[in-house]
Amino acid sequence: MEIDEDKIDDAVLALLWLTLHNERSAWKGFDWATTDRLHKKGMIGDPVSKSKSLILTDEGLERSEALFRELFTRPPQ
Prediction pTM value: 0.89
Q: Closest Cα partner for 10 from 41, 45, 51, 52?
A: 41
SS3 39: helix
Q: Closest Cα partner for 37 from 46, 28, 49?
A: 46
Whether residue 9 contacts residue 34, with contact meaning beta carbons closer than 8 Å, is answered with yes
pLDDT tens per residue, range 14-59 = 999 999 999 999 998 899 999 999 999 999 999 998 889 999 999 9
Whether residue 24 contacts residue 65, with contact meaning beta carbons closer than 8 Å, is answered with no
Domains contained in the chain, CATH given: 5-72 (1.10.10)
pLDDT(77) > 90: no
**Confidence band, pLDDT 50/70/90 cuts, at residue 2:** very high
